[in-house]
Amino acid sequence: MDVTRDFATAAEQLAHVGRRFDARGWVLGTSGNLSVVIDRNPLRLAITRSGAPKGDLTADAIIEVDEGGAAVLPDAGRPSAETLLHLEIARVRAAGAVLHTHSIWSTVLSAQYLPAAGIAIEGYEMLKGLEGVPTHEHREWIPILENDQDMIRLSGRVRRLLAEHPACHAFLLHRHGLYAWGQTLEQAVRHVEIVEFLLEAVGRTNRHVEDI
């Protein structure tokens, strides 16, 4: 089984990822949220507490939640408002970790490309770092969803989006950043970094296009 890792280890690893993303400016304020699957059946996640600064995740900033999104321990505090999205992704994609970053470029491009409902990226070697992609000639579609404060409604839309785009490795919420995932936390981190890179490359390329 792929989720034998215990809660304490998971919390420590999420803190490490939080520091890394914070240094890159991808989780400013208390934005972003990070989770790993710690049990599969029934589904359990270790997920960041609502409002915790991701660059300094102390032990009490990681909460164990059940398949309904409720904290397992009574005094654990409030899990991330977006816990339902994490659970949905973990279930549909059999992901071992789900990461949400909130970078400048993912935010800017999610608005620019909203009319097209997504961004097509192809021809970049970096695409090969996405699981199962053998060549830079791959065309990755990064869908964009309208943002919503109703998490039940939004998680339903995420479920449909994942069904419609079975090959996608990540999606954007409009002016709300990036969701990516992986079979392991390591793979999820790689996917986040690759998609953040690609979005920045596309964003900076757009401005150059007329220049040459």
Residues at the site binding a copy of itself, with contacts judged by CB under 8 A: 20, 23-25, 28-31, 53, 55, 102, 104-105, 107-108, 111-113, 115, 123-126, 129, 134-136, 147, 149, 173-177, 186, 189-191, 193-194, 196-197, 200-201, 203-209, 211-212
Taking the complex as a whole, the smallest distance from the CB of residue 113 to a copy of itself amounts, in Å, to: 7
Taking the mean position of all CA atoms in its chain, how far away is CA 31?
A: 12
Q: Give counts: helices (H), strands (E), the chain.
A: 5, 8
Q: Please say which residue, 129 or 156, places its beta carbon nearer to a copy of itself.
A: 129
Copy the structure tokens of residue 86.
Answer: 């994490």
Other Cβ atoms within 10 Å of 49 Cβ, number: 19
Q: How far apart are CA 183 and CA 1, in angstroms?
A: 12
Helices (H), 24-171: 83-92, 104-112, 151-164
Regarding beta strands 170-173 and 33-40, do their DSSP bridges make them parallel or antiparallel, or are they unpaired?
Answer: unpaired
Q: Please say which residue, 147 or 183, places its beta carbon nearer to a copy of itself.
A: 147
Taking the complex as a whole, the smallest distance from the CB of residue 12 to a copy of itself amounts, in Å, to: 15
Taking the complex as a whole, the smallest distance from the CB of residue 147 to a copy of itself amounts, in Å, to: 6
Taking the complex as a whole, the smallest distance from the CB of residue 87 to a copy of itself amounts, in Å, to: 19
Q: Please say which residue, 12 or 186, places its beta carbon nearer to a copy of itself.
A: 186
